[in-house]
Amino acid sequence: KRYELTSSQWERIKDLLPPERTGKRGRPGKDNRVMLNGMLWVARSGAQWRELPEAYGPWQSVYARFAKWRDSGVLEAIFRALSQDADMENLSMDSTSIKVHESANGGEKTEDKAVGRSRGGLNTKIHAIVDGLGNPVEFLLSAGNDHDSVHAVELLKRVNIRGSNILGDRAYGSAAIRSYITESGACYTIPPQSNVSDPWQVDWWLYKERHLVECFFQKIKWFRRIATRYDKLDASSLNSYRISA
């Protein structure tokens, strides 16, 4: 029960899920709430799918439902719907690294797989933007050895930042990132690097609000499948983050 959706949480999302009975012949689908609770149990515990408690039904059925919702965009649509009421006044962006378990590094090797080698071994980076309340607005995955600034503009392009104030650390202080923010009708609170020849002013009191993205990463890593990457596919990892968020 501790990993499951509350009644109020379920009421918010139940109409966003595909119907269990489609009117077609054959066995009706398993209960959506039970299936989603099973996915949450896996994400929170970090266990293998085959270790799923029997109360959620056969693990193959729960995983098949997860894969179906992943590929059809259902999980992303739920995340987008719940993010519509975000507080967009101040948006904080940052990244965090997660260890890649050996089970996630198998399968077909692809150039765009978000796994990279750093001094600590194989890692994946989660780049995130959170709103003024610390709730996630957007995610992006990259190899663990990629610098934060490399994917900043790509991440910002996925969000309507017009009228927002973007908070970030010194890693996001490049001219390209600052130019994109201002050209998009937003402003920024990003400290300059110490070696910048023409440093700009920073509202340090407002900059303290950036702790919200750090708190978000700390909270989401209580889900053990987030703190360590076990999924081979980037799409599976990304949708595990959406479920957990």
pLDDT tens-place string over residues 156-190: 999 999 999 999 999 999 999 999 999 999 999 99
pLDDT tens digits for 137-165? 999 999 888 888 999 999 999 999 999 99
212 vs 135: CA distance, rounded Å: 8
Is the pLDDT score of 73 beyond 80?
yes
Contacts of 166 (CB under 8 A, 6+ apart): 91, 92, 93, 156, 172, 181, 186, 187, 188, 189, 190
Which pLDDT belongs to residue 26?
46
Q: How does residue 197 score in pLDDT terms, banded at 50, 70 and 90? A: confident
172 touches 149 (CB < 8 A): yes
pLDDT at 240 over 70: yes
Q: Express each pLDDT in 98-132 by its tens digit.
A: 998 887 776 555 556 888 887 778 899 999 999 99
Would you say 163 and 181 are in contact if contact means Cβ atoms under 8 Å apart?
A: no
Rg (CA), the chain: 20
Q: Is the pLDDT of residue 87 over 90?
A: yes
